[in-house]
Amino acid sequence: MRLLRLIPDDTKFGFMRFRPIAFGISAFIAAATIIGFLTIGLNIGIDFKGGTLVELQTKQGNANLSELRTRLQAANVGDVQLQEFGGPNLVMLRYGEQPGGERGQQAALRRVTGLIEADYDIRRTEVVGPTVSAELVQMSVIGVILSILAVLIYLWFRFEWQFAVAAMIATLHDVTAIMAFYIFTQSDFDITSIASVLTIIGYSLNDTVVVFDRIREMMRKHKKMPVAELLDIAINSTLSRTTITATTTFLALLGLFFFGGEVIQGFTASMLVGVIIGTYSSIFIASPILIYLGLRTGGFGATRQAEEEGDAAAKARA
């Protein structure tokens, strides 16, 4: 007997009826992401554009950001971003890439620390040069592309080509939705954001594969059932598992968001959105796409059955 049951085992919700609405919502998100990227753009962090980050702590009292900004004008480092984090006596200082490469960055850092070290302790400094940032951008893009291709190949061999293409489209949908989050919230997009995107891809694909596996299992049993009806039954049969997984993951991330500190808050915020998007896409995007890709229950079952009968006949002849 289950002690926790968020969704009854005998649900018969017609998910496929809502596929036009779901596709409309997804199309709107994709269009908004493209428009937002072209007009607003990502708030690129220093990992990708180069620059310096300095964590400060006041020696006495609370930080005065206005006074600190005025003081730092003498450092001649361009636009300076100041932000309180974790408490009124903690300050995050950021400024962009300086001319002169690595030497220029280090010289600027010395000027900045010289102006504030009398009243502030330097807790951490992070300097990213233009060469390092360019390499990070290149490797991050390659990492995301290779991960999607690897999943596509894996699903192609494990299932049918329709499943692989549907999973890839759903994955691109998830990446687009996460980009929308970063664009419209203007959260820093840095190397941890890439880690967040890859984690969300993995979570969403795991959810999708669970549903796909149940669809494949049912296609072998119900070879004459309409595809839309079969998809609804398969999704409903995995709905309890999907809901419990999403809920427990969301609650764990919620705790990290509020109590994990400023350093990982951006990462957990995107992960919270990603859990919702990943669960949504595995139900309302990946599965309905199978209908439009021409998946046929009879064809799938007949192919598998022919293979099994052929193997059995070969063993009998041997």
* CA end-to-end distance (rounded Å), the chain: 48
| Contact predicate 79/98, CB 8 Å | no
Residues 119 and 157 in one domain: no
Q: Is residue 22 part of a domain?
A: yes
Total number of domains constituting the chain? 2
Burial 89-120 (b: 16+ CB within 10 A, else e): bbbbbbbbbbeeeeeebeebbeebbebbeebb
Q: Is residue 318 part of a domain?
A: no
The whole-number pLDDT of residue 307 equals 42
The whole-number pLDDT of residue 318 equals 46
Q: Which tokens go with 211?
A: 């549903």
The whole-number pLDDT of residue 311 equals 46
Strands 43-44 and 51-58, sheet pairing: unpaired
Q: Is residue 312 part of a domain?
A: no
224: domain range?
15-43+133-307
Q: Is residue 72 part of a domain?
A: yes
CA angle, residues 274, 276, 278, in degrees to nearest 5: 65
Q: Residue 71 sits in a domain of what CATH number?
A: 3.30.70.3400
Please give the Cα distance from 155 to 149 (Å, whole number). Answer: 10
pTM (2 d.p.): 0.74
Tens-level pLDDT at each residue, the chain (318 residues) = 444 555 666 677 888 888 899 999 999 999 999 999 999 988 887 777 777 888 888 888 888 888 888 888 888 887 777 877 777 888 888 887 777 777 787 888 888 888 888 888 888 888 766 555 667 777 877 877 887 788 778 878 877 788 888 988 998 899 999 999 999 998 888 878 888 888 888 888 888 888 888 888 888 877 778 888 888 888 888 888 888 888 999 999 999 888 876 667 888 999 999 999 999 998 899 889 988 887 776 555 444 444 444 444 444 444
Residues 275 and 245 in one domain: yes
Half-sphere exposure of 122 (CA within 13 A, CB side): 15
Residues 120 and 178 in one domain: no
Domain boundary (97, 128, 159) is at 128
Q: Is residue 9 part of a domain?
A: no
Residues 113 and 194 in one domain: no
Q: Is residue 5 part of a domain?
A: no
Residues 189 and 230 in one domain: yes
Residues 223 and 300 in one domain: yes
